[in-house]
Chain A
């Protein structure tokens, strides 16, 4: 009964390095969402993907951030040249995509940039 799996749970990067966050959606789910959460804040939408397609990336910073959801394998959120302001918890969620279906969240990746 695997839910949404995210790894790593914790990731420490120095400024200027790259961070790669992985997300495997629930079995049967073809829609993946990435959200970012800062302390004491709600979740900020970043990007919505279906297999091999980016549907909505309106919440993604224009520079350094990219996301993919290939035909095979997990969805990847990639942050290049990380800065301290990128430190946050990044959550992935999946859904089957049917109208009004709730999101199923992973336990997140906590990124710390030193």
Chain B
């Protein structure tokens, strides 16, 4: 079963508004990462938060992590049309030499100009 489950599945907002996307996971993690995917392209890494961190910022991005609730949120402030994309959370489970990431199904964000 999927480790990460994003919520909502789709989000449509007006340019300039903030977009909040949520991710829940099931098992213990080492880190949680958010990626963006534009149509027809590969995923691009946005931000990584370690399991011992609660909040992290990068430009217009703010990520929170609540390990007690096994959930994370990604906030994009002052959204732009160029933010239109699919967003995925991925959990990292470092067990020995294995470092694979497990991805959720993604959130489709549409930002209307």
Contact = CB atoms under 8 A, between A and B. Distances in A.
Interface of A: 4, 6, 31, 33, 35, 40-45, 48, 55-56, 91, 93, 95, 97, 99-108
Contacts, number: 63
A31 B31 CA distance: 18
A105 B98 contact: no
Contacts of A6: 42
Contact of A45 (B97, B100, B105): B100
A41 B2 CA distance: 11
Contacts of A99: 30, 94, 99
B48 interface: yes
Contacts of A41: 105
B104 A42 contact: yes
A107 B42 contact: yes
A55 B98 contact: yes
Contacts of B101: 33, 45, 103
16 contacts: A31-B99, A33-B100, A43-B103, A48-B98, A48-B99, A56-B100, A97-B99, A99-B30, A99-B94, A100-B30, A100-B31, A101-B99, A103-B45, A103-B101, A105-B35, A105-B43
